[in-house]
Structure 1
Amino acid sequence: MGAPGLCALLLLLLGVPGRLQPPPEGPPSLCDPRVMERFILEAREAERGAAGCGPHCDLPEPVAVPDPGVNFNLWRSLDAASRAREVSGGQAALVAAVLRARELLRDPRVTPTLERAYGSARSLARLLRGLPAAAPPPAAPPAPLRVRTLPRLLGVLSRFLRGKVRLHLADTCPR
């Protein structure tokens, strides 16, 4: 092995920052703020992208979504398990809503947006289940609202992430 190969091996073994470091072990954690910020950024981009899409983004039937709003007094009164159920149930309802919208809207102009939103919502649901205080979603996730357009659905997803999910992570993740 020549000098360049030996240097590369030493850098790898010593773990010099920014140089040939092995990939991190395990799946990403939602407790890493960069991971959640990425989910929020993707949701906002999808929401903005669908904002002016017009009649081809109208759903032929309404889909049920959770209320993304946060009543802070009520939120503070809930215990950790109730908060976790609220978030996991809401996320499950959002996954179902995006899946249903994907089935209802076959327009090729919105398919990529729906595919990304569905994949992102499912990934987030998986990561939420991996949190220390994870709770299974209720048997019938609460979905009190109904939306009739793709932009509105993506707006609910974005607000849910920025509100309830972010608050839940602030409670659950170590400082």
Structure 2
Amino acid sequence: MFHGSGLFALLLMVLEWTCPGLSSPLRPICDLRVLDHFIKEAWDAEAAMRACKEDCSIATNVSVPLSRVDFDVWEAMNIVEQAQEVQSGLHVLNEAISSLQISNQTEVLQSHIDACIRNIANIRQVLRSLSIPEYVPLTSSEEDKEMQKVSSISELFQVHINFLRGKVRLLLANAPACQQGVS
């Protein structure tokens, strides 16, 4: 069962990262199967929301990051700019998904919301392991051009999946820490 072993692996990562007695830094997590696990959980959440109608509505539209990738633009960006775009998008997704916790949700929906929030935190931990720069807030004009609005929880989770499959995967696959052993 990956979920239990995934939590154990995450605990080991956190302990390795925070334990002051260790002389070595956190080892890079370059295996894209870790990301595939988060994508699968996001996919499961989105599938559950498609079946949910009235209990899964959003009172107001929420902002989410653009998930489509213009490869010419992406390739022209340096790693810091790519990291900023991914970190900013993860921040916005976390805010949007966290806003769902305010309303009275079903137990199933709440478990998917909690899982998505944990997964975003775990993805941020993976990015830290790769020495990807942390999130730095953008100005509102910069942020607005990179956003779209969604009107349902299903749409929100679909953007979440696409963001992970697109920009996050591209960043992880090309992270300098994962390229060091490649000749």
Provide the C-alpha distance between the structure 2 equivalents of 1:118 and 1:128, rounded to a whole number of angstroms. 15
Distance in 1 (alpha carbons) for counterparts of 2:108 and 2:58: 14
Give me the TM-score of the superposition, normalised by structure 2: 0.75
Cα offset, 1:128, TM superposition: 1.7
d(CA) in 2 for partners of 1:75, 1:105:
39
Determine whether 1:167 maps to 2:167.
Answer: no
Paired residues, what number?
Answer: 152
Q: Which residue of 2 aligns with 1:127?
A: 126
Equivalent-residue separation in structure 2 for 1:87 and 1:96 (angstroms): 14
Cα–Cα, structure 1 residues 29 and 95, in superposed 2: closer, same or farther, change >3 Å?
Answer: farther
Whole-angstrom distance in 1 between the partners of 2:166 and 2:63? 18
- Answer whether contact 1:46 1:113 (CA < 8 A) is retained: yes
Pair member with larger Rg = 1
Counterparts of 1:8-157 in structure 2, within 5 Å, are 26-27=12-13, 30-132=29-131, 134-140=132-138, 142=143, 144-157=147-160
Question: Identity of paired residues, percent?
Answer: 27
CA deviation after TM superposition for structure 1 residue 127, in Å: 2.2
* 1:126 Cα deviation from its structure 2 partner: 2.6
Higher fraction of helix: 2
Gaps of 5+ in 2: 1-7, 14-26
Cα RMSD of the aligned pairs, angstroms, is 2.2
Residue 75 of structure 1: CA displacement?
Answer: 0.4
* Distance in structure 1 (CA, Å) of the matches to 2:104 and 2:83: 31
After superposition, the C-alpha distances for 1:111-170 in whole angstroms (9 at most, x for unaligned) are 1111111111222123223322x1222314835112121111100100000000000111
Distance change (3 Å), C-alpha of 1:55 and 1:140:
farther
Q: Report if aligned partners of 1:81, 1:135 keep a CA contact under 8 Å in 2.
A: yes
Q: In 2, distance between residues paired with 1:63 and 1:131? A: 30
Q: Which has the higher contact order (CA 8 A, sep 6+)?
A: 2
2:156 partner letter: L
Which residue of structure 1 lines up, in the alignment, with residue 3 of structure 2? Answer: none
